[in-house]
Structure 1
Amino acid sequence: MAIIGLITGYIVPFLFVLTLLVFVHEMGHYLVGRWCGIRSTAFSIGFGPELFGFTDKHGTRWKLSAIPLGGYVKFWGDEDAASRPGQNALEGLSEEEKAQTLAGAKLWKRAATVAAGPIANFLLAILIFAALFALYGKPVSDPVVAEVRPGSAAEEAGVRPGDVLVALDDTVVETFDDVRRYVSIRPGTQIVVTIRRDGATQELPMVPRATVIDDPFGNKVEVGLIGIVTTQESGNFRVETMGIGQALTEGVRETGNIVTGTFHYIGNLITGKMKPDQLGGPVRVAQASGQMATLGIAAVIQLAAVLSVSIGLLNLMPVPVLDGGHLVFYAIEAIRGRPLGPNAQEIAFRIGLAMVLSLMVFATWNDIAALIG
């Protein structure tokens, strides 16, 4: 029974989310590649041995592979699933045939095909958020302070119950979630909180404190806090209904917030303001998928939107073997007027692969340490 619970409660939701995100990402590559006249030889969900599949009339092998932790589109002339050009991929081909390979296509076509994967992930996130807002509305609360924690940064700065938060630094806030989102990713960084009290505004500088809290599922999460609380009575909790246009606008905004938060998190890691143990891998994603599944399909789909943005950003990192690394190569080619030599590309790909594998090992170690802890 425990094994069945593990499969249905964690593995199935995890594979659903991962397969959706991988399919959309790779479909972005595939569709734009076809639009650019580049032939694909394989479209795979997963890596390793093929479980089953079929070949379409264009010669593309669509398949499900044994290791369900990613996927790839292999274009004509690619040496491997990372779209590394084969050393002799263009030899013996006519000019027309060369144009149908990724390595031989025009520079802008190669760049568009590579960039399409991450862009598809961003578009998926926007559409998911928009659909959720249109169907269920958006829960909001006004940024009204109901309580100030004793000894907190907010108390030391002079914040009082009943104060209305107007802005954080130069960013206007409209809801309490705006406040929570802005503060949580800025531990140890001074911010200026503008409040309205008795019809007058005041600017109060304070520094959010890095604090480990429990999320709704009991997981330990480190965030920045200033020590203010809102309640249903003071915060005017409500659900805002939205039309399609407003929902799309909010979907773009929500996706942008995740992008901004991710960059701040990376910056906090580099500067030491947050611990690297917050970086999660496949085990933590599976755990989150299972936890969200207990809240219903809408929660799982919302998690998919968040992870879709993360996958898009990860793939845009300027690391060889990732989409961002390919785009860097193309930028160098545009500047030099010719591509890097095969030896230089081979060395770069090997370094990039080592970096990606190291990151995966580190993230998985964090996952295991969190489970043991």
Structure 2
Amino acid sequence: MIQTPGILVTILAFALVLGPLVFLHELGHYLAGRWFGVKAEEFSIGFGREVAGFTDRRGTRWKFGWLPLGGYVRFAGDMNPASQPSPEWLSLPASERARTFQAKPLWQRAIIVAAGPIMNFLIAIAILGSFAVAFGENVTPATIGEVQANSAAAKAGLKTGDRITAMDGRTVDDYFDLRMFTALRAGELVTIDFQRDGQARQVQATIGTLKLKDRFGNISTRGQLGVGPAAQQVRQVAIWEAPLVGMRQTGEIIDVTVEGLKRIILGRIPVSELGGPLKIAQASGESLSMGPLALVSLIALVSINLGFINLLPVPVLDGGHLLFYAVEAVRRRPVEPQVMEWAYRGGLIAILALMLFVTFNDLGAFGVWRSLAGLIG
């Protein structure tokens, strides 16, 4: 077992992961705004009181806040949290008002808002595509090369040479699909379609539960069918294919994220599996200690999750704004300011509650509550 990284390494790694991703996310908003002629008044990495910053020749204040857990771009005219026109906005001279966010057509505002999450996905696509060019793409087929004794596969009667084609009606293209499907379904009964000697067959199996301890001592639980691949296959990827491979792999990770979130909501995966900033910091430190490639891989994964979370239809998040723009497009008029204001407040409370919950989860995973209970007892 490798020694857990120290607090300084963890903080450094966390900054290396989150800092650039937040900056590039906000840069997506900023660049789209500039493209459409919107003036940016502030570009902040972090929240709270300004620690350092400067003002460029366009009048944009670039600054760092003392709480480095996010960031924002404040465009001209954003005089209220819901980014709705106000008496102050109407009082601006026409030339200044034309450069404000609210003055732009609906489709331009939607693109500006969506540009942040899109930037996160582009970062992941670039990283994953580059890895595919450098190391090849794993295309190992879902053909069974070994069956573990007393495993779910063995009990279901699966044998070496069987080619799994679908699970619960979902097509299995390769061994990665098989592994990801079973990982989220520990203890669940699933239907397996497979080919044996050219004939289509079907069985049911209860996915096994596997507890894993990594090199840092972290314990995780996942589902396991109990099979191994027949032979690993790696396909060389040309540079021109890299964006397509990166997009496909990003889409696969998003699918797994959506499925995992759905199963947490349905109670099939314990909510203790949810992690927050402390878990990301821990993973960042451990990844950095394993080398730059592991850290860059984590950056791609966090970037995908950051883009996905920001697209959720929750007021305060980019997805919440896009939801209101969709309503505006259907109604042909903006949502009433008071409705936006209350929705914004509700969304803020929900996000803060979630952050508090996952932080408690993280502290529990680190054993803080057990230690406190021991001291009190």
TM-score when normalising by structure 2: 0.89
The answer to whether the 8 Å contact 1:132/1:298 transfers is no
Deviations 1:183-234 (A, max 9, x none): 223446554323333343322233434554334543233333222234xxxx
Q: 1:253 to 1:188 in 2, by over 3 A?
A: farther
* Structure 2 residue runs without a partner (length 5+): 371-377
Aligned counterpart for 1:240 among listed residues 219, 235, 248: 235
* Structure 1 residue runs without a partner (length 5+): none
Q: Does 1:340 align with 2:335?
A: yes
Comparing 125-134 with 152-161, which one deviates more in the overlay?
152-161
Q: Does 1:320 align with 2:312?
A: no
Comparing 99-108 with 158-167, which one deviates more in the overlay?
158-167
Q: Does 1:22 align with 2:22?
A: yes
Q: Does 1:261 align with 2:260?
A: no
Letter in 1 for 2:156: A
Secondary structure class of the residue paired with 1:110? helix
Comparing 241-250 with 10-19, which one deviates more in the overlay?
241-250
The answer to whether the 8 Å contact 2:4/2:216 transfers is no
Question: Which residue of structure 2 lines up, in the alignment, with residue 282 of structure 1?
Answer: 277
Letter in 1 for 2:222: V
Secondary structure class of the residue paired with 2:290? coil
* Cα distance in 2 between the residues matched to 1:47 and 1:119: 22
* Cα distance in 2 between the residues matched to 1:289 and 1:41: 32
Question: Which residue of structure 1 lines up, in the alignment, with residue 6 of structure 2?
Answer: 5
- Residue 109 of structure 1: how far off its partner (Å): 1.3
Deviations 1:26-78 (A, max 9, x none): 01101111111111101111112222222112111112222111111011121
Query: What is the aligned-residue RMSD (CA, Å)?
Result: 2.4
* Cα distance in 2 between the residues matched to 1:336 and 1:210: 50
- Residue 155 of structure 1: how far off its partner (Å): 2.3
Q: Does 1:121 align with 2:120?
A: yes
The answer to whether the 8 Å contact 2:5/2:286 transfers is no
Question: Which residue of structure 2 lines up, in the alignment, with residue 133 of structure 1?
Answer: 132
Question: Which residue of structure 2 lines up, in the alignment, with residue 103 of structure 1?
Answer: 102
Question: Which residue of structure 1 lines up, in the alignment, with residue 111 of structure 2?
Answer: 112
Comparing 179-188 with 271-280, which one deviates more in the overlay?
179-188
Question: Which residue of structure 1 lines up, in the alignment, with residue 300 of structure 2?
Answer: 305
Question: Which residue of structure 1 lines up, in the alignment, with residue 73 of structure 2?
Answer: 73
* Cα distance in 1 between the residues matched to 2:312 and 2:5: 38
- Residue 362 of structure 1: how far off its partner (Å): 0.6
* Cα distance in 2 between the residues matched to 1:189 and 1:333: 43
* Cα distance in 2 between the residues matched to 1:95 and 1:253: 46
Q: Does 1:64 align with 2:67?
A: no
Question: Which residue of structure 1 lines up, in the alignment, with residue 325 of structure 2?
Answer: 330
State the aligned residue count. 366
* Cα distance in 2 between the residues matched to 1:46 and 1:173: 42
Letter in 2 for 1:157: A
Secondary structure class of the residue paired with 1:343? helix
Question: Which residue of structure 1 lines up, in the alignment, with residue 366 of structure 2?
Answer: 371
* Cα distance in 2 between the residues matched to 1:348 and 1:83: 9
Secondary structure class of the residue paired with 1:201? strand
TM-score when normalising by structure 1: 0.90
The answer to whether the 8 Å contact 1:74/1:83 transfers is no
* Cα distance in 2 between the residues matched to 1:127 and 1:280: 25
Letter in 1 for 2:74: K
* Cα distance in 2 between the residues matched to 1:222 and 1:266: 16
